[in-house]
Every structure is written in C-alpha cells, then in structure tokens.
Amino acid sequence: MGLPSLRAAAGALRRACGPWTPRVGRRLLGLPPMAGKAEAPAPPAPRQERDGKAGSGWHGGGRVWEDAEQPAKKLKSSGEDGEQPRKLPKRKIVLLMAYSGKGYHGMQRNVGSSQFKTIEDDLVSALVRSGCIPENHGEDMRKMSFQRCARTDKGVSAAGQVVSLKVWLIDDILEKINSHLPSHIRILGLKRVTGGFNSKNRCDARTYVYMLPTFAFAHKDRDAQDETYRLSADTLRQVNRLLACYKGTHNFHNFTSQKGPREPSAQRYVLDMFCEEPFERDGMEFAVIKVKGQSFMTHQIRKMVGLVVAIVKGYAPEDVLERSWGEAKVDVPKAPGLGLVLERVHFETYNRRFGGDGLHEPLDWAREEAEAAAFKEQHIYPTIIGTERQERSMAQWLSTLPTHDFSATAHAAARPGAKVPSPQEGSEEDGVSD
C-alpha cells in the first residue's frame, strides 16, 4: 500500500474513531490494555452535522470535533407568569359571597384605579395571597374567566352574590381565602361547575331586598315623620298594591340613566315585588321590600322604591306609575342605596340541565342559608340601622321629595303594536346592578 493510501486510511480512522490516542490504537490492534492502568471507557464518537452550523469546534489546523452541549430546557418558575412549580388542578368553580357594602364603591373592580375601593379589590387580593390564583390573574381578571352575577352599586350589600372563576383547588380553600378577607366580606360556599359556566349569563333571576324605616311611608300631611310612626295595615296594603303594579314586562327607561324609551334593553321583566310585615329594631320600625326580576339596570330598584314612597306619602299621584313606562321623561326619585341588599341569585335552567347529571351539584345553596342569614344579622342589618340612626340618610332623602316635579304628562304614548320583548330579550346588555 502506498503512502497516499495509508494517509487516506488514517484519515478515515480519525473521522470514525475521533482523536488518536495510544488507548485507541491498542484497541484497534486487538491488544490488551497497558498493565498498571485502569482503562476508562472511550468517549463516544461525536455526531457530525452536515450543515456545519454553530456548535462544532475547530482546534488549530486539524479538524477535531467537539460535542456542543445543548442547553437544558428552561422550566417555568413560580415567578414567571405567576405559575406555581407544583401542578395543581385548575377548575371552574363558583363562590357564594356575602358582604356589607358600606365604604365600598360597588362590587366591580376598576383595574388601575386605587381611588375607589371595591369589593372585588379585597376578593382578588385574598385569592392571590391564599395561593388560589397567580398574581398576574389578579391584574387581568380575564385570565381566570372571572364573572359576577350582579354588579352591585356603591354602598349596596349582598347575602347571596355568586362569582364564577378558575382557581387552583388547594387544600382548605375556603378557610384560606377567608383568612385574608375582612370580617364584613365572607365566602360562604364553593361548588364545581361546567367548564363554560358564566355566572352572569347563566343566572335566570336575581332577588333583592330593600330595608327601610317605615316612617318613609308616613303621609306628609297626616302622620308623624319620625321614629314614633308605625305602619298601619291599610298603608301596608296600599304599598303592596302599588308594588304589584311593577310585575310583568315594562319599559323602565325612566328608572335608570342614559337609556332611551325606544331602546329594547329598557324593557325589563319583574317576577314579583312586595313588602313584608314591619318589625322593630332598637326602638325603630323597619320593613323589607322584596323584588325578584330577571335583571335590573343601574339604580332601577332604588327608583322603583322611591316612586312608590313618593306616592304613598302624597307627593305624587298614582297615575305617575303608568306614565313612567311611557316615552315621556318622568322625574323619578332615587331612594338611598344604604338599604339595598342582593339576597339571592337563581339558576333554575342550569340546575335542570346539570344539577342531576351526577357530576355537578345544583346551585341552590340550601346548606349555606343559615350562615347567610347569620351574616345579615351580624354585619348587614346592624350597618343599615346604625348608619340610618347616625347619618339619617332616609330622613334627608325624604326632605328632597317636594323638589321633584311629578306633574309632567307623557308627550307620546308607547307606539301601538310595538313588540314587547320576551323576558329573555335585552336582559343582560349592560350587566346587572341595583
């Protein structure tokens, strides 16, 4: 074999076996290892990349391949995207909430604004601190598919608010969330729901109560206008007769703001409205008005109560109710927000479809009713009574009723033959408030 052939063979050996060492030579010749030295296993032959991209090494003038180490795949830590290093199931749930709304600017969070504190500000903070959600989900609530049943207004309380969201199902989840909440905000219950559940869209109806001192119904010319007044049976019957007029579908454009008389979403469906028997608390008589409807616009319930109070006290004629549902603008007074409480939200349609499928519980909260009632007695009713005594919000509002003009007549009746939407139409266009 000539010299060129030997050199070609040697090059082929180098390419096949890697750098030449005595240990490699003895192995190729079939000789035993050198005495007195433990032979380490030969390094594996490196892979050759045809395209010669970065990752190969060149030493001097000879081509010596170096295996380039591939960087290990980076794993997400707890600081990235708020993800936890452990894997916990993230599930769609609903939380039953109760809260006293005094001192809060409503339920809905205003992200980026710290000027007005809301119930959801405290709730989201507790969810993050308890480890139920990543921190970035608190900054962008859409990431946890958050939705509330009702967007309660400033000062409005709740004993049965329901929110839906996705969380990590940590151990003792309710106890941990409540440990980071003030005593006037409580999570009363938790239930698993379907993955696409939305508490606002799945809600069939809402029930509110409005608690007020009965002297609000004292006639301006005949009765005492203070705490000594007691509601008579005849006046209670008059109140309930007027409240019953609200039942059914009506055009409530005069009971909210920025809503035209011909907008379909101004049509709202009220299932029931009545006043319960009065009761005494701390020497003052109170009554509770209950109203159940498919949905309510901002200030709608407070204006419904305010107009009936104005009629019973003798400031407004009874026919103002009919006129308020026409196209003309009617001056409807708005009762204070202090006494308004979201009592319950209803999911009849969801319960019929999923409540008995063996996988999901019906959303009826029967087991939590006692705790909700106790919360009202401990945090909501005392706040309403105490604030009324100290700030006299109802008495001050009643003093403004003479300034309202209830004599305006309708400029145009509702269009003959106009389509009245079914209870399902236009019910959730702007969210739900009081």
Which residue numbers are catalytic? 153
Torsion, Cα of 307, 308, 309, 311 (10° steps): 90
Question: Containing H/E element for 10?
Answer: helix 3-17
Q: Are 194 and 347 in contact (CB under 8 A)?
A: no
Torsion, Cα of 252, 433, 337, 154 (10° steps): -140
User: Which residue, among 394, 401, 398, 402, has the nearest Cα to 213 in the 3D structure?
Assistant: 394
Q: Has 208 been labeled as part of a binding site?
A: yes
Q: How far apart are the first and last CA of the chain?
A: 102
Helices marked H in 143-268 — which ranges?
173-179, 233-244
How far is 165 from 143, CA to CA, in rounded Å? 9
How far is 421 from 425, CA to CA, in rounded Å? 6
How far is 261 from 38, CA to CA, in rounded Å? 97
| C-alpha pair distances (Å), 372 with each of 139, 151, 155, 366, 377 | 29, 19, 19, 10, 9
How far is 387 from 120, CA to CA, in rounded Å? 23
Q: Are 141 and 164 in contact (CB under 8 A)?
A: no
Q: Are strands 340-346 and 157-168 parallel, antiparallel or unpaired?
A: parallel
Q: Annotated binding site for substrate: which residue ranges?
A: 208
Q: Annotated binding site: which residue ranges?
A: 208
